[in-house]
Structure 1
């Protein structure tokens, strides 16, 4: 059985080596790149199962590198490593195409948990990846991450996290989905920054669904969220 291949793009040599040693000790295959340009080239050459990337790097930032990757690859899980942890920074990472983030400094045990969680999301089991979902006057395509307003044909590609949240809500339409369950499923924790990021993305989804007055994304306080249509 082939090993899971992790590409680590990190410009701090000591940290890159620590991550590599920890991953290899857990039976991962690891490739290293020292900046965004080298990371982009390595991604094309080695086709990793998962990408772990620093955000602040010389030549090409992690955000710009991932934007370029997402032009052709929408599915490889991407974990950002960042010393920047404001809500806006985190949301920008998700919009660039990241699937999760890990704030520096971090422990190797937490890194392993994040990577394992991301790899576990490669093949969703509750909603088939290619199944299109009708949400009132909208059609949601989880596989392409698109939301189309059917009366006009207006179509938007959703950032990864918005698509994941909408998909999670569609698994049990009209039922209350606890916010904590979504946070743990998608972020791996329910800390302050994860909660704020989640609330920001919920607001964005509400705006996207606002053209159909019968579609409502309701916050049941202290319980969770319901998608009605």
Structure 2
């Protein structure tokens, strides 16, 4: 069982958001040797920036933090990636907090002090929940949303860095509008970018994959699945 847990952890990236530096260091030390990547942040704002930059598989977050708390950060992240996986931990284990966690999108809830073995088991359960269900974008193109893989004629294909970030932002929000502001925030990490530059990337994705991405006037873009 332990070997299974360690094997599952080695395939996932994790972001830890915690304002207590001692707790943050302990969690990082306990997970880093076993996980593919471990990122850290001291508050919700830093956590949001790290999410936009690194797109972790699982986010571990405290609730009570300065600047931006865990719930506020989660709500912002879920606007970009509705299926993001979270584990929330807090010292205040009340029914109200648990309910708020579930409504905010938390996958699992853990009370402090953190039991590392329980945390590792939770992470394993999240990693094995990834489904192999494919979503068809066209006759040739299908995607695995959980594993973030693109297939063309059954073979995996790859995009450039910016193309990949934009593609998955649109895929997370399939059949829904993704605004220019959201594209700038997530893909370009709030750097100034022209609409024509975004359009050029969209055109390259459409040309390479042969999929439908609609431009909705001056609002943004929408990727559509095959009906």
Kindly report the root-mean-square deviation, in angstroms, between the aligned alpha carbons of the 2 structures: 2.1
Within a 5 Å distance, the mapping from 1:150-229 to structure 2 comes to none
In the alignment, which residue of structure 1 is the partner of 2:98?
A: 90
Distance verdict in 2 for CA 1:129–1:10, change over 3 Å = farther
How far is 1:49 from its partner? 1.0
Distance verdict in 2 for CA 1:129–1:104, change over 3 Å = farther
In the alignment, which residue of structure 2 is the partner of 1:109?
A: 117
Matched, 1:26 2:34: yes
Distance verdict in 2 for CA 1:89–1:27, change over 3 Å = closer
How far is 1:97 from its partner? 1.4
Gaps of 5+ in 2: 1-9, 136-144, 146-227
Structure 2 length-normalised TM: 0.53
Aligned length: 128
Q: Tell me the secondary structure at the aligned position of residue 32 of structure 2.
A: helix
Structure 1 length-normalised TM: 0.52
In the alignment, which residue of structure 2 is the partner of 1:184?
A: none
How far is 1:129 from its partner? 8.1
Q: Tell me the secondary structure at the aligned position of residue 81 of structure 1.
A: strand
In the alignment, which residue of structure 1 is the partner of 2:86?
A: 78
Gaps of 5+ in 1: 131-142, 144-229
Give the number of the structure with larger relative contact order, counting CA–CA contacts within 8 Å between residues 6 or more apart: 2
In the alignment, which residue of structure 2 is the partner of 1:45?
A: 53
Distance 1:98 1:27 in 2: 20
